[in-house]
Amino acid sequence: ALDTVGLRPDGTIETPPYERAHRAAWYRLGPAPGERGAAVLVGHVDSKKAVAVFWYLTRITPGDEIQVTRQDRRTALFTVTSIEEFTKTAFPTDRVYADPDTPQLRLVTCGGRWDPARGEYPDNVVVFATLTGVA
């Protein structure tokens, strides 16, 4: 199951609540997975208590398949094209939230080494994938 997120008043994407760190969230202002455009799913890498939904995201490799069960109960099948890490100050917003002519998927979480002084991860990990089927 997926939760949903929108935008904060400052225009940045909402962060899923840590109480639900075991679940990913769909950015509801964009396309749903399997629709034309880039569907974005965000999730935590960890919480203060445990690993979270995207803890193993960096183990994904190009060619891996991601399955997303849609609200209509069909399964959208995506093939990973790349996994990349970006500093938060150089996050590729235009690329992640692009409006391509084909259905695509983006998985976004935190990355890099935890910075205890700032209380955050300095980077974001983004998985880029393209729709390759619907079952």
Q: pTM of the prediction? A: 0.94
The token pair at 26 is 């769909």
Average pLDDT over residues 83-110: 95
pLDDT more than 90, % of the chain: 88
Q: How far is CA 99 from the centre of its chain?
A: 16
Residues 92, 110: Cα–Cα separation, whole Å: 14
Residue 1: pLDDT band by 50, 70, 90 thresholds? Answer: confident
Q: How does pLDDT run across 31-88, given as a tens digit for each residue? A: 999 999 999 999 999 988 899 999 999 999 999 999 999 989 999 999 999 999 999 9
Give the model's pLDDT for residue 48. 86
